[in-house]
Structure 1
Amino acid sequence: MLTKKQLDLLEFIHTRLQRDGVPPSFDEMKDALDLRSKSGIHRLITALEERGFIRRLAHRARAIEIVKLPESLGGAPSAPTGASSGTGFKPRVINGPHPSPSQPANVTADEVMLHTRELPVMGKIAAGVPIEAISHVDHHVAVPGAMLRNAGSHYALEVKGDSMIDAGINNGDVVIIRETQTADNGEIVVALVEDQEATLKRFHHNGTSIALEAANPAYETRVYPEDQVKVQGCLVGLIRTY
């Protein structure tokens, strides 16, 4: 079930696609719904996507696919999975302007940051006692572009354990990691210990030793000689499924 604002936005996008063949800009959406900022539009679009009414296309600026419409906007009644209908609503894919390597023409930075990217999930990472080093792609996950503001390669890991719960990282969360071999004190990192085990901990470098600190008083801080710890990446974001 959609809220009034979500329904209003879906109707506005659908009407503009039918009329112009291209989706409205974020500024046009904001003005149409009388919102004070584009962050409200971001939230509404995310809600519509989560509920299966629209789909944003990765790497394509201002590209929105309407997957379905509610009955109040002329959509077909819900059908059982696998059922087919010759009169049901058919998705339309609307491609925005061709993107350039830096930023697409006529697209704001906010709109570029909203689009998602597929990242490999490289298995599980221990938020507790270190586990075996991670070296294979388990599956992929779609990540909002706003999480990937820093340059460089990124990957994702599923958290196993509860040693970082006081930092807001729970068992089962998916953490987004920017690949790097260096870190500042206090950053949460993926650390490879003795080339065999990987763990997610807060990093502290002091002289010739490195401390890997948990965010849970039930776990003690582990200290290693600096040549036994290799930083594999720094935490930049988190995805949680309820």
Structure 2
Amino acid sequence: METFAVRLKKLLKEKKISQSELSKRTHIGKSSISTYLKGGYIPKQDKIYLIAKVLDVSESYLMGWTDEKERKQTPPPSFNLSDIKPIVKTVKIPLIGVICAGNGIYADENLERMLVVDSNTITADYALTVKGDSMIDENILNGDIAFFEKTFNFESGKIYACIVNGENTGAIKKVHQQGNKIILESANKDYTPQIYDIDDVHIVGKYKGLLRTE
């Protein structure tokens, strides 16, 4: 089944409704709607009802639980907002900047925002925005948000966030060790492996998954 974010994006396009118009008709903030479309947060039940009503689909279809679009012509159920339970258990993960999937880019470690994600899907300590195309064969694309678990150790052949030469030049690569050398391997045949002395590469996180924003 498709996710809420995917369904919402498709329906807006299908109905020719802009984010601004949806915001105006539901009285939901533009920033909240933008977050919904990026998959960063699932709205509460009252917001789901408002969006589904404007888009003329059932709440279940909008959430991706069914392929039945038809909206039943019944009044919404009565409830107290304080009684609403989360649809899924969520956790907040800090998005702290960017990391290179190319030939090297400044790894900005300033907190940008907190991402709200399904705790059953992602377990991570922080997230970084991917810049570049060197990991495309691992389905890690430019603009993706990559999640990492803090670690300073590594298992050869796995994907890690690392800092080279003790500077703020971060990279996401497959990491291998051969003797006293570290090899940073891309997942794109257009990029050659990079070889460093073992003391020049610092592992700062193990790759745990990604969130595609577009």
Please tell me whether residue 163 in structure 1 is matched to residue 148 in structure 2. no
Task: For residue 67 of structure 1, give the secondary structure of its aligned residue in structure 2.
Answer: helix
Distance 1:49 1:201, change over 3 A: closer
State the partner residue of 2:145.
174
- The number of aligned residues is 158
In the aligned structure 2, how far is the partner of 1:124 from the partner of 1:73? 47
* 1:225 pairs with one of 193, 197, 211: 197
The alpha-carbon deviation at position 135 of structure 1 amounts to: 2.3
In the aligned structure 1, how far is the partner of 2:82 from the partner of 2:7? 18
State the partner residue of 1:183.
154
The alpha-carbon deviation at position 94 of structure 1 amounts to: 2.4
State the partner residue of 2:34.
none
Distance 1:148 1:239, change over 3 A: closer
* 2:91 pairs with one of 89, 114, 117: 117
Question: Of the two, which has the highest radius of gyration?
Answer: 1
Identity of aligned residues (%): 30
State the partner residue of 1:205.
177
Which TM-score applies when normalising by structure 2?
0.64
The alpha-carbon deviation at position 91 of structure 1 amounts to: 6.8
Q: Is the 8 A contact 1:191 1:231 kept in 2?
A: yes
State the partner residue of 1:241.
213
State the partner residue of 1:66.
45
Q: Which runs of 5+ in 2 are unaligned?
A: 9-21, 23-42, 54-72
- The amino acid across from 2:81 in the alignment is R
In the aligned structure 1, how far is the partner of 2:89 from the partner of 2:6? 12
State the partner residue of 1:214.
186
Q: Is the 8 A contact 2:98 2:106 kept in 1?
A: no
Which TM-score applies when normalising by structure 1?
0.57
